[in-house]
Structure 1
């Protein structure tokens, strides 16, 4: 069945200072006028070990549910029972908010910071769309100077060989008009510094989970040097048009005297974010983190990017960063620690009309339970058991999976017709991975109200 249409509500009445514990509500949105580029950005905190969680006093379910309607009371009661499912282990954080009122429906250790895996991408996407804007496009260009045709990377992870072929046609036309039939080919990926590992990464991530982060790549090739690889593709295409390429592809920095001969612009950032969230693209996330940092006047590094994310979330939106530790853009870092409540607060922004234009691609990109081709598709065994299958088409959520960490955070329309924002994160369960996901899907089905 098709998912219900999501329409953001009117601007929320207020954002009261958030109190952790019973009756918690969202933080006050701080002044929107503060430019990210001029903010004083705080550095990330020290490296966290794999076993580390930032724990707070365990929280009980809010109040006695006297302020909740009957549907929310049922959600809270059922979650209290189901969160102790042995498949989830004993280290679970969870929060459910009512999108219209900002009220807390349920909270179980919601301020405890756990490893969020790819739920980290929600923070990365929010910052990228805010700093760069949803209509931003990334540019790749070719310039000519000193007998060399240089392909200049602009942080477009979506560049394809077909795009490069169109650039090649323009470049060849310019070369032949100038009477040149041979050139050297170089690449300029100096927009980003030399790739490094983020805290919490290991060499085993290359090239299976992520490629070294560079400013130039074609067809998403998973190779160690994506820039030289792109230059080689470019050189081969030049050769098919009768241009002789002298020597191997090298690195070169664009000079101010170089003449532009071709350029390509990516799709809008909103489209890139939509895809990144839908399939949980690690490479796209890490590239966006760097491009966001550059636009905000920070270095194109893990540290620069995560500092901007923190600034955007806290200063621009009033999202709580208590116990928040972020070291990369993709969520691959095993040092990341984000409370379920913070993830829920980020998602709650998607329910506000005033942010719809800016952040809508995150909301629309959330995988839908049972949606083939997404991380909640049947090919991943999601929402396919007796308890959760009722929620197919009804739950929109970002997944997160690392060894020892599973997360599911998103939106669903409850039985009362009101949209609920939820986040569930577990760390350290020893159960089978599929069993953990089934238990998580069951929690989401509980919030939807179809599993009663």
Structure 2
């Protein structure tokens, strides 16, 4: 399957400055590709451009764009989309609005929320950030200290156990107690708009320690149990049950594991729409900004970062990082602006990983893959390999937002958010795929 090149990596987009201070704004924001949260979070932004204002000017469409607009005017009336649709298409180079329908109307965005979470995480923490899981020893106890790494595996714990056992045996110790320290994050709570029916299938209670992406009620004790088993397999007796506690200040370091880079974690989160990674990153972002690792502080940082990039926060309301909250409300215009920002070459050092992480139509293993029944109709199959977009699905809410190169050879950013359709989710998704194929122009 042939995929269209990324608009970031291809170098094919050269945004035209819309404000005299745009270069300064970019220079300041790009400088936070390393963890300097205080710089970007200190006070109101004096360098944020108001992109919404630049898009309010009526502009003439070229023939390709006019065809997109005309077709979308007709196809957005598809009964499968219901009567509540927020949508917009913009030219990625000029920010010209090609088409819009209630673009400023805030709807439940589902997992499109993860685009905002990713933007804040990459900006505050930097794309090279890694998360560390440690093992320390004191008073006859090995403590597995969670560092908020949602990608930790049994193999990683095995390596930690190997080092720990070597140290214990060198000291002549053959038995040890095991506890877990997940105090990096506070006790899990439900976000506004969540219900406990989400646990543990849609998402696990958010803790700082988990292994193999397990969705269980207590991921920390589950990881501790796995670690204890690995110790026993290597000849060390574990006394009693695994407990929870806080590592002592005088405990000796024994072993540590560092995660992959944040950039790769963000790409994975977006490709498969991983709710647990999203909520973990929301807390890490709050910590990186010097705030508490809570839903409230995490989402406050997201709002602040978006505002400092010049993204309009009109009618913007989020209560979590994953988009599971049924109280979240974001307009399609805002989602499109976030994608447009991520695809801007001026921000590629920090944000290009968002574009890299967008599922590609027809890409197996991602949320636009054939296993999900996406881009497989007569109207949309022509766009396989030509559309990259973030999906979003909740009961009563389906979204699709991303990028495609239109028939004029120019990248278009689009966002479509639908709420409350009476059609089946599969039918609504087919209709949204058709709208994306319309922007591409292959469905003429």
* TM-score, with structure 1 as normaliser: 0.90
1:323 to 307, 315, 331: 315
C-alpha RMSD over aligned residues? 1.8
Preserved contact between residue 293 and residue 299 of structure 1 (Cα < 8 Å): yes
**What residue in structure 2 maps to residue 225 of structure 1?**
218
SS in 2 for 1:144: strand
Alignment deviations for residues 321-360 of structure 1 (CA, whole Å, 9 cap, x no partner): 1100010000000000000000000000122112112112
* TM-score, with structure 2 as normaliser: 0.92
Distance 2:371 2:16 in 1: 41
Distance 1:326 1:289 in 2: 12
SS in 1 for 2:86: strand
Distance 1:414 1:11 in 2: 16
2:341 to 344, 349, 353: 349
SS in 1 for 2:90: strand
User: Gaps spanning 5+ residues in structure 2: where?
Assistant: 45-55
Distance 1:16 1:337 in 2: 29
SS in 2 for 1:190: coil
Preserved contact between residue 336 and residue 414 of structure 2 (Cα < 8 Å): yes
- 1:393 paired with 2:385, answer yes
**What residue in structure 2 maps to residue 367 of structure 1?**
359
**What residue in structure 2 maps to residue 235 of structure 1?**
228
Distance 2:327 2:19 in 1: 30
1:12 to 5, 15, 31: 15
- 1:116 paired with 2:109, answer yes
- The 1:328/1:15 distance shift into structure 2, 3 A limit, reads farther
- 1:3 paired with 2:9, answer no
- The 1:29/1:241 distance shift into structure 2, 3 A limit, reads closer
**What residue in structure 1 maps to residue 133 of structure 2?**
140
Distance 1:151 1:239 in 2: 15
Preserved contact between residue 14 and residue 93 of structure 2 (Cα < 8 Å): no
Preserved contact between residue 16 and residue 93 of structure 2 (Cα < 8 Å): no
Q: CA offset at residue 62 of structure 1?
A: 8.1
Say which structure is richer in helix: 2
**What residue in structure 2 maps to residue 416 of structure 1?**
408
Alignment deviations for residues 33-75 of structure 1 (CA, whole Å, 9 cap, x no partner): 7964363689xxxxxxxxxxxxxxxxxx985xx6111100100
- The 1:135/1:36 distance shift into structure 2, 3 A limit, reads closer
Distance 2:179 2:360 in 1: 43
SS in 1 for 2:354: helix
Preserved contact between residue 26 and residue 346 of structure 2 (Cα < 8 Å): no
- The 1:256/1:99 distance shift into structure 2, 3 A limit, reads same
SS in 1 for 2:278: helix
Distance 1:426 1:306 in 2: 23
SS in 2 for 1:323: coil
- 1:314 paired with 2:317, answer no
Q: CA offset at residue 107 of structure 1?
A: 1.0
Preserved contact between residue 9 and residue 351 of structure 1 (Cα < 8 Å): no
- 1:440 paired with 2:419, answer no
1:167 to 160, 180, 203: 160
Q: CA offset at residue 13 of structure 1?
A: 2.4
Preserved contact between residue 8 and residue 351 of structure 1 (Cα < 8 Å): no
SS in 2 for 1:96: strand
Distance 1:245 1:388 in 2: 57
Distance 1:427 1:152 in 2: 42
Distance 2:252 2:90 in 1: 55
**Where in structure 2 are the equivalents of 1:375-386 lying within 5 Å?**
375-386=367-378
- The 1:331/1:41 distance shift into structure 2, 3 A limit, reads farther
- The 1:301/1:320 distance shift into structure 2, 3 A limit, reads same
